[in-house]
Amino acid sequence: GLSDTGDATPPAAQRPLVLGFSQLGTESDWRNANTRSIKEAATEAGIDLLFDNADQSQQKQIEAVRSFIQRKVDVIAIAPVIETGWEPVLKEAKDAGIPVIISDRSANVSDPSLYVSFIGSDFYEEGQKAGKYLVDKIRGMSGPVGLVELRGTEGSSPSIERGKGFRDQLEKKKANVVLLRSEAADFTFEKGKETMRRFLEEEGANIKVLYAHNDDMALGAVEAIEEYGLRPGKDIIIISVDGTKAGFEMMAAGKINCIVECNPLLGPILMQAVKELAEGRQLPKRISTPESVYTETMAKDEVGKRQY
Ligand code: GYE
């Protein structure tokens, strides 16, 4: 009830928690599913969400975090567009006594006390899974098999790690491949299409495999391949990452051969973490979500079950 001291401010436990979330952009279906998941989970958990979309700009993300600090939110969460450059603003949050959760993409910091937990996927493992599929798929093909790669945003942890895990796996298995072209296409459909069109103009039918760091770029590339007069999924093996509904539909149509899943539905885990922090509990430094690999033969059964 109301205190007789005349102080109208309710005790902390009765106030809704306030979470400031800096989202990096709207580049892909994965991202939009991630945003939806966070907004829905906040509503469901009764957490006040201050949501800021930074349009791929780290500077805007830093400004958003500063405004969250000024507004004295309870917890800050950041999905970092690129890996580096976060130390100063994380230090500002720490000095203000506000815990920071890194979500989705990782941030490279030398002082691990600058954030409480990283909630997101193991992108290196995703790259390894993609490499493993490729090695099995090209077994028996006469080589060297021509490969092209559409990388994600330059400097982003998923692009760096998906590239590394993939390369390490190919090397380990001594895969008989030759990397013809590799370019950043920013995780977008348009850039994926445009870049694949250029790859085809330059390398033509030498291209036997495409590894795309996400579904949106793979879907753009499918269009470019068809316009060029080749058959995606047949003339060119396509391996992608994410597992969006649109990606699965393309795989069910036989135009994508393999999708390594990356789960964007991080909202409920994030809200749980925010609540636990508010209760003074310690979070594990690393929280990851279970993920699978899907191939053509499974696509038809799975496509109807996709939530994003
Ligand atoms: O794979 C891609 C998105 O950071 C894991 O970003 C995320 C990646 C995702 O644009 O589609």
Side chain identity, residue 129: K
Strand order in the sheet with 100-103: 48-53, 18-23, 75-78, 100-103, 117-119, 286-287
Is 264 strand, coil or helix? coil
- Helical residues (DSSP H) of 117-266, grouped into ranges: 123-137, 157-172, 189-203, 215-228, 245-252
pLDDT of residue 8 exceeding 80:
no
Per-residue model confidence (pLDDT) at position 3: 45
* Residue from 215, 260, 262, 288 whose mutation best tests the ligand 1 pocket (most atoms within 8 A of CB): 262
Per-residue model confidence (pLDDT) at position 1: 39
- Give the residue, by CA position, lying nearest to ligand 1 atom 4: 105
Torsion angle of C-alpha atoms 156, 160, 161, 167, degrees rounded to 10: 160
* Residue from 28, 81, 129, 162 whose mutation best tests the ligand 1 pocket (most atoms within 8 A of CB): 28
pLDDT of residue 81 exceeding 80:
yes
pLDDT of residue 47 exceeding 70:
yes
The torsion region of residue 280 among left (phi > 0), alpha (psi -120 to 50) and beta comes to left
Atom of ligand 1 nearest to the CA of 215: 11
Atom of ligand 1 nearest to the CA of 264: 5
Per-residue model confidence (pLDDT) at position 290: 85
Cβ atoms within 10 Å of 44's Cβ, excluding its own = 11
* 160 alpha carbon – ligand 1 mean position (Å): 12
pLDDT of residue 53 exceeding 50:
yes
What is the pTM for the complete model shown? 0.94
* 235 alpha carbon – ligand 1 mean position (Å): 27
Rounded to an integer, what distance in angstroms lies between the CA atom of residue 64 and that of residue 201? 42
pLDDT of residue 58 exceeding 90:
yes
Ligand 1 — pocket residues by CB below 6 A?
27-28, 30-31, 104-105, 158, 187, 214, 241-242, 262
Per-residue model confidence (pLDDT) at position 12: 58
Per residue in 114-171, pLDDT tens? 999 999 999 999 999 999 999 999 998 998 999 999 999 999 999 999 999 999 999 9
Per-residue model confidence (pLDDT) at position 252: 97
Rounded to an integer, what distance in angstroms lies between the CA atom of residue 183 and that of residue 147? 12
Per-residue model confidence (pLDDT) at position 10: 58
Atom of ligand 1 nearest to the CA of 123: 5
* Residue from 23, 30, 289 whose mutation best tests the ligand 1 pocket (most atoms within 8 A of CB): 30
Determine the Cα angle at 97 with ends 95 and 98, to 5°.
115
